[in-house]
Amino acid sequence: MLWRPPISSTTSFPVLSQPKQSGIHSRKMAFTLLKCPLLKKAHRLEHLKFARYHENWTVEDWKRILWSDETKINRIGSDGRAYTWKKKGEPLCERTTTPTVKHGGGNNLMVWGCMGWNGVGVLTEVQEIMNAEQYCDILDEVVVESFEKLEMLEGEKMFQQDNDPKHTSKKATKWFKDNSIDVMVWPAQSPDINPIENLWVDLNKTLNKYPNPAKGVHELWERVAEEWNKIPPETCQNLIESMPRRIQAVIKAKGGHTKY
């Protein structure tokens, strides 16, 4: 073990109390810590099993899938931590602060959307906390319309969803059976496998380009719907074309996290 001499309080106090005079300066971090879902051994095995099963799927196979997901979109700011440089003595202002609102102030909305090879499907707003009944209403009103909009062939329809309890409820399972729609067996804790997750990222980047935040949740919804419908089919196709690479990445990571 390398021995280091002890540091006394008389040595450390000037450095900590006057960092600039001591030659210590703040610097921006050269990397960002990414939030990833916790993967237990069972999750890794499940991911690897899924990847091995679909290892030989081509892009033509993945074209059959209608990818779905829901996400939260903030009216002001984000859920992450933001940083800014502030000059010494500079007062707080719009440049150095991010406005927030209290809970219940219409600061965000939940939306559900889907995409296929021919583009995005129908986007819908989720009312309050989605339960199995509301999810079945979405399936009935939006999924059927999205299959038709994207011209997905009858008899080849396959639907992708995560393992949220409302998605796998008896009501939802019965709906898929009654409508003759196959549902993919999807591994838990695997957002990096689902290409629609990247679509949400692109959508949020576009919304963040607006010079001013939406005045309310209704204006936010109008912006979201407008930008969603502007997404070209090529964007969805590029994401779906990445599926073989995602599968290989999961295999290489032995079921662990991937760059996606």
Q: What is the CATH number of the domain that holds 134?
A: 3.30.420.10
In a domain, 54, yes or no: no
Q: Who has greater pLDDT, 84 or 237?
A: 237
pLDDT tens, residue by residue, 246-255: 999 999 999 9
85 within domain boundaries: no
The partner residues of 72 in beta bridges, in order of sequence, read 110
Total of domains in the chain = 1
CA gap 209, 204 in Å, rounded: 9
Q: List all residues 6 or more positions away from 50 whose beta carbon is below 8 Å from its beta carbon.
A: 185, 186, 187, 190, 193, 250
Integer angstrom CA distances of residue 250 from 47, 180, 219, 229, 258: 7, 30, 39, 31, 6
Residue 213 included in any domain: yes
Extended beta strands in 106-192, E state = 108-116, 119-120, 124-126, 158-160, 182-183
Rounded CA gap, 196 and 77, in Å? 22
Q: What pLDDT is attached to residue 32?
A: 42
First-to-last alpha carbon distance for the chain, in angstroms, is 39
- Report residue 22: phi and psi, to 5°: -90, 5
Is 127 within a domain?
Answer: yes
> Which range has highest mean pLDDT (93-102, 116-125, 128-137)?
116-125
Structure tokens at 56: 């030989």
As a whole number, the mean pLDDT across the chain is: 82
How far apart (Å, rounded) are the C-alpha atoms in residues 142 and 163?
A: 19
**pLDDT 10s digits, 150-174:** 999 877 789 999 999 999 999 999 9
88 is a domain residue: no
In a domain, 111, yes or no: yes
Q: For residues 191 and 198, what is the distance between their CA atoms, to the nearest angstrom?
A: 9
Residue 11 covered by a domain: no
State the pLDDT confidence band at 1, using cuts at 50, 70 and 90: very low
15 part of a folded domain? no
Domain range enclosing 229: 60-74+104-260
pLDDT digits (tens, 9 = 90+) for 171-208: 999 999 999 999 999 999 998 999 999 999 999 999 99
In the beta sheet, which residues pair with residue 206?
A: none
